[in-house]
Amino acid sequence: MTELFSKSARDALLGPLLDSGWEIDSDGDVLEKTFTFGDFTEAFAFMTRAALWAEKWDHHPDWSNSYKTVNVRLTTHDMGGLTSLDAKLARKMDQLLT
Amino acid sequence: MTELFSKSARDALLGPLLDSGWEIDSDGDVLEKTFTFGDFTEAFAFMTRAALWAEKWDHHPDWSNSYKTVNVRLTTHDMGGLTSLDAKLARKMDQLLT
């Protein structure tokens, strides 16, 4: 079962994400990052790849796109906060850029 | 050249869009609509089709997606308001649903 992060798990899993540009909102329940690409085709290609993983894992981002930027907000709505699913999808999104 | 709407063109082109659920923001420079689908796959399929038209016409939406909803905001940034490009893309998005 997916559970809200314990303090130790949170530090271990979220630390590397914070180092790569993700931020946690002031309430501590949303992981957020803005990705910037070369143009719209690159931004939407990223969204398309991320969408396939989101659907595969049944864990979907709240995200917005304006031309070459994509803002992503991750949270586990069912649990009311951050879980390992959010960390997993965040890591995948970063990996798609490498 | 794409120009800001005259009053008469605005009424003629935007009227049918307002009838189909589009709204104009209080400043009069953004067309907005929220589309609701059956699930994420339907919502993202709509975005993918709309993205191809947006790129083809070099006119891109500001939009956000949360699971099965897609919020679309259209404006012509270069002109600082609404133009026929916004009406054209709005009509296309509606057509994609029929």
Q: What residues in B contact A51, CB-CB < 8 Å?
A: 40, 44
Interface check for B42 against chain A (CB to CB < 8 A): the answer is no
Q: What is the DSSP letter of B75?
A: -
Check if the beta carbon of residue B72 is closer than 8 Å to that of residue B20. Answer: no
Query: Which of B34, B47, B52, B70 is the best residue to mutate to test the A interface, defined by the most A CB atoms within 10 Å of its own CB?
Result: B47
Q: Cβ A40–B47 below 8 Å, yes or no?
A: no
Query: Using 50, 70 and 90 to split pLDDT, how confident is the model at A1?
Result: low
What is the β-pairing status of strands B31-36 and B23-24?
antiparallel
Asked whether the beta carbons of residue A40 and residue B48 sit closer than 8 angstroms, the reply is no
Q: Which CATH architecture has domain A9-96?
A: 2-Layer Sandwich (3.30)
| pLDDT confidence of residue B1 | 55
Instruction: List CB contacts (< 8 A) between A54 and chain B.
Output: 40
> Which value does ipTM take for this structure?
0.93
Smallest Cβ distance to B67: which of A60, A64, A66?
A60
8 Å CB contact between B14 and B86: no
Q: Where are the domains of chain A?
A: 9-96
* pLDDT number for residue A62: 98
Nearest to A64 among B60, B63, B67 (CB): B63
Q: For residue range A51-96, list pLDDT tens digits in order.
A: 999 999 999 999 999 999 999 999 999 999 999 999 999 999 999 9
First to last CA, chain B: 30
- DSSP assigned state of A34: E
**Would the pLDDT of B26 be above 80?**
yes
Asked if residues A66 and B62 have their Cβ atoms less than 8 Å apart, the reply is yes
Closest C-alpha to A29, from A85, A78, A80: A80
pTM value is: 0.93
Query: How far is the CA of B86 from the CAs of A68, A85, B4, B49, B69, in angstroms?
Result: 18, 37, 10, 16, 20
**Residue B69 sits at the chain A interface (C-beta within 8 Å):** no
CATH, range B32-96:
3.30.1360.20
Residues for chain A: how many in total?
98
Two tokens at B95? 């057509």
**Residues paired with residue A7 on neighbouring β-strands, in sequence order:** none
Q: What is the pLDDT of residues B46-68, one digit of tens each?
A: 999 999 999 999 999 999 999 99
